[in-house]
Amino acid sequence: MTEYWWKDLRDRKDRWQGLELIVREGTGQAMEMQSGHNGRMALQVNGEALFWATMLKDHSGVWLVFNAEHPGQQPLLPAMTSADVETAKRAGEQNGISHWCRYFARQLMEASVPLLPPRRWLLRPMSLVKPKAPYVCNKTLPLAQWRFETPASNSDISVNWSLYGEDFPDLQNPEKVTHVDWWWGGHLLLGRYPVDADSGRVKWWRKKCRENALPPILVWYIAGLASFVILDGHDRLQAALTEGIPPQFLVLSELSEQSWTPDEETRQRVLRSLAIQQERCKQTPANIDAMNQSLMNLYDTRYLYAPTHSRAVLGDGADWEREVKAYLQRHQLDEYLEKILRREE
């Protein structure tokens, strides 16, 4: 039995940032990152490689090879029902995203094969950023202008994601080989299987999209790939793309905490400066909130960040190379082979 609990993560101004999920014990995991020498990586789903990846020698990016032959191309979580959508509606728009965080936390942990190993996790929303004025209200925003970001925070939460419409995949015909360019941010959105845009499920989600009742897309951010992998919501995303209505995302990531040692001399200089400002407050108006924020920043030595753990089981990568080479040859993609094996762009 899996032991877990959650709590709301808030910043210093008590603004909600996401749901922190602590997993103490588990019975297994459906997804796992594996690593080895020469920058070799593999994302396994149910014991089979879904993505093979290798980091470039100059650390400027990564090659991704999508395994279209993966035998487990099915939903990892139970299908969402109409009752689930109606329950979210009753939660209200203000509490909607918090409700969906809790919903997916339960689904992730109570699935037949839990996805998450014992660790500290975070579910954080990533919402559409509206264009700056001037822009035409009620006009459909083209996909190329879609941009999604995590909530603003005044705490040291280095788990800030962004995603652009231009980095969305072709869900109906996913690319088998992709180059993720880290110089330009990476952060691609990766699907796990092809989607039938004419399926009844997609049509139903299109209807919910028009009703402004589309649940968020659940993705997992994997640091080694600098990309988001869709865990749940392929059909919902296809429905949103077809309707031209931007969806909302929930990003799952591991969560770690570290502390840093401040420079005492610098701290004292800041304290003296704040003391001078405090004296001036007696004569002229000053921003007390800003001074308080500076003090909190001065003594809060913790920061949160999002790593991705992997198991070092790929050895020297020889088996990895044989699998990738055979796969590329079967799909007539030999032109990528040398670049991938040499780890060059």
Q: What is the dihedral of CA 261, 263, 266, 272, to 10 degrees?
A: 60
Cα dihedral across residues 145, 150, 152, 157: positive or negative: negative
- Alpha-carbon distance values, 105 to 6, 62, 112, 245 (Å): 8, 30, 14, 25
How many Å apart are CA 332 and CA 82, to the nearest integer?
A: 42
pLDDT of res. 329: 96
User: Which residue stretches of the chain are H helix?
Assistant: 82-91, 96-110, 200-210, 234-243, 264-281, 288-299, 318-330, 337-342
pLDDT of res. 245: 95
**Residue 105 burial (C-beta neighbours within 10 Å; 0-12, 13-18, 19+):** buried
**Residue 148 burial (C-beta neighbours within 10 Å; 0-12, 13-18, 19+):** buried
How many Å apart are CA 294 and CA 279, to the nearest integer?
A: 16
pLDDT of res. 89: 87
**For residue 274, how many other CB atoms are within 10 A of its CB?**
16
pLDDT of res. 1: 54
How many Å apart are CA 345 and CA 342, to the nearest integer?
A: 9
pLDDT of res. 291: 67
Cα dihedral across residues 123, 13, 162, 156: positive or negative: negative
Q: Spell out the domain ranges in the chain.
A: 3-257+306-342, 262-300
Contact at 8 Å (CB) between 258 and 302? Answer: yes
How many Å apart are CA 64 and CA 66, to the nearest integer?
A: 6
pLDDT of res. 64: 96
Q: Full-prediction pTM beyond 0.95?
A: no
* pLDDT of the chain, 345 residues: tens digit per residue: 568 899 999 887 788 899 999 988 766 667 889 999 999 999 998 888 999 999 999 999 999 999 999 987 677 888 899 999 999 988 877 788 999 999 999 999 887 777 888 889 999 999 999 877 666 666 788 999 999 999 988 777 778 889 999 999 999 999 999 999 888 766 899 999 999 999 999 999 999 999 999 999 999 999 888 899 999 999 999 999 999 999 999 999 999 887 767 777 777 777 777 777 777 776 555 566 666 766 666 666 677 888 898 999 999 989 999 999 999 999 999 999 999 999 998
Assigned token pair, 34: 């594996």
Check residue 329 and report its DSSP letter.
H
Prior bond of 216 cis (ω within 30°): no
Check residue 335 and report its DSSP letter.
G
